[in-house]
Amino acid sequence: MSTADDNSTMISTLAAVFSLILFPCALYYGFMGRVPLVMVPLAGAFIFAMLFGSGLKRNSNYVDIWDMLLEIVVIGGFAFLGIAAFYFVGYGISAAFYPEYEAAGTVQRDMIAACVVAGISVLLTVADFMTERRDATDANGTPQTGPYFELELSDMRVSPKTIFAYPDHEWHPRTADEAIGKAERALGVRFPDGLRALYYEQNGGALRDVLIPAVRNPRPDDKRDWVNPFPSNREILPLEQLETLQSAAATSHMDLPGAHFSGSQHLVVISEFYGETMLVDCRPNASHQVIFARFYHEDWRKTATLFTDFDALWDALRISADEAEQARRPRLDVTVHPDVLH
């Protein structure tokens, strides 16, 4: 790990430690019988750390200003309750064991001390926030990549023939026709041509590490800006395991919060893992045939990635140079050369 990475980790750690130190500080002030007003800067600093601290609420996607204000109010309420609880626990301990003790501090001195502690926490949180911003871009605004997120994309076009990691040589068109027809009858839908072409190639299975943009302007050399839209351990479900979104949400064996809505009986789940779901809209007039949704987000409709059809999906999918190299390597077909296994 580089020196810059070490510094970033150290700042994040110090920011987290000082945000937690605010609570024992409140305990100390309560124990020493200081003025309760010291809870204000301590709680304020903790709220700031929660809203801007690394890995906490920094990347929240708010629906509107009221959604953001509601979250600030909730976090503020819990912060004040927590600080007050520590303060009065300390005060109670002092009263129980030292009933004759008289506080000697002054309001001005106590507030200055509390503000200093809170200020350190705020400054470390700001430093943590700015460090992460600096890690993303250099002084000229050029995107930067860390050693653990470097990516080299290939120009190779992904298609039904290249997306599967382990081809099934026993799968052939006659088998596919029968299995696709059976699945359509069971689900009560008709698959669009793109989905049929995918299952003509193979009955689901493990996929290569394909990627689509996760942000509006993805950096081609930083994997943090890309996401695999096939989340179920990077696989497409076999035909016999396909379900409509309505059925999957009703049986609750898939983690699909927020998936109960009108029209979900026409959406077929072809890949799912902890709410990240690849769906196919099987209505003939569907404006967006392929949908990648994250149902664990309350605003999943706004963050969903939509494709007009499978051709648009294949055009959007990218593959790393390493994956492309593996895709070009010839694979042993054990159905043609069975003797090599003896």
- pLDDT confidence of residue 36: 82
281 and 157 co-located in one domain: yes
Which tens digits make up the pLDDT trace of 192-203?
999 999 999 999
Q: What is the pLDDT of residue 144?
A: 44
297 — pLDDT class (breaks 50, 70, 90): confident
The tens digit of pLDDT for each residue in 46-95 reads 877 777 664 444 444 455 566 667 777 887 788 888 888 898 888 888 88
- Identify which of 137, 194, 172 has the alpha carbon closest to the alpha carbon of residue 308: 194
Give 137's DSSP letter. B
| Within a domain: 306 | yes
Q: What is the largest CA-CA distance in the chain?
A: 93
Report d(CA 316, CA 303) in Å as an integer: 17
Q: Kindly state whether residues 207 and 327 are assigned to the same domain.
A: yes
pLDDT reading at 133 higher than 70: no
Average pLDDT over residues 213-229: 79
175 and 127 share one domain: no
Q: Contact 15/125 with Cβ under 8 angstroms? A: yes
At 196 the pLDDT is: 93
**Is pLDDT at 254 greater than 80 in this prediction?**
no
Q: What is the pLDDT of residue 242?
A: 93
Q: How would residue 279 be classed by pLDDT, with cut points 50, 70 and 90?
A: very high
CB 117 within 8 Å of CB 22: yes
- Whether residue 134 has pLDDT greater than 60: no
Same domain, 107 and 30: yes
Instruction: Provide mean pLDDT across the span 29-39.
Output: 82
Q: Same structural domain for residues 215 and 299?
A: yes
Residue 148 lies in a domain: no
Cβ-based burial of 132 (10 A; exposed 0-12, middle 13-18, buried ≥19): middle
CA distance linking residue 187 with residue 181, whole number of Å: 10
Distance between terminal CA atoms of the chain?
A: 47
Is the domain of 132 the same as that of 166?
Answer: no
Q: Across residues 176-186, what is the average pLDDT?
A: 93
Shared domain for 330 and 212, answered yes or no, is yes
Buried b (16+ CB within 10 A) or exposed e, 204-225: bbebbebbbeeeeebbeebbbb
Classified as helix, coil or strand, 286 is: coil
Arithmetic mean of pLDDT, 130-146: 47
In a domain, 141, yes or no: no
Crossing angle, helix 107-136 and helix 39-52, to 10 degrees? 10
The answer, as to whether pTM is greater than 0.85, is no
The pLDDT score that the predictor gives to residue 152 is 82
Would you place residue 247 in the very low, low, confident or very high pLDDT band (cuts 50, 70, 90)? confident
* The residue to which tokens 């190779």 are assigned: 156
The DSSP-derived string for 199-222 is: HHH-SSEEB--EEEESSSS--TTB
Quick one: tokens of 53?
Answer: 């601290």
The percentage of residues in the chain with a pLDDT greater than 90, rounded to a whole number, is 14
143 within some domain: no
Report the alpha-carbon distance of residue 196 to residue 202 in Å, rounded. 10
- From 74, 108, 136, the end of a domain falls on 136
Residue 219 belongs to a domain with what CATH number?
3.40.1580.10
Among 136, 170, 186, give the residue marking a domain's end: 136
Last residue of a domain, one of 136, 163, 182: 136
Domain assignment of residue 144, yes or no: no
Lowest-confidence pick of 80-89, 294-303, 312-321: 294-303
Q: Are residues 60 and 165 in the same domain?
A: no
CB atoms within 10 A of CB 3: 7
Position with higher pLDDT, 19 vs 269: 269
Tell me, yes or no, whether 170 lies in a domain.
yes
Whole-angstrom Cα Rg for the chain: 28
| Residue 225 pLDDT | 80
Over range 170-183, report the average pLDDT: 86
Report whether pLDDT(340) > 50: no
Please report whether residue 260 resides in a domain.
yes
Residues 6 or more apart in contact with residue 112 via CB below 8 angstroms: none
Residues 91 and 177 in one domain: no
Same domain, yes or no: 161 and 122: no
Are residues 227 and 104 both part of a single domain? no
Q: Which domain holds residue 177?
A: 153-341
Give φ, ψ of 132 to 5 degrees.
-65, -40
Q: Using alpha carbons only, give the angle 141, 127, 132 rounded to the nearest 5 degrees.
A: 45
Given pLDDT bands bounded at 50, 70 and 90, which one contains residue 342? very low
Q: How many domains does the chain have?
A: 2
Cα–Cα dist 92/95, whole Å: 5
Residues 183 and 94 occupy one common structural domain:
no
In a domain, 142, yes or no: no
Which region among 122-126, 185-189, 231-235 has the lowest average model confidence (pLDDT)? 231-235
Mean pLDDT, the chain, rounded, equals: 76
How high is the pLDDT of residue 74?
A: 81
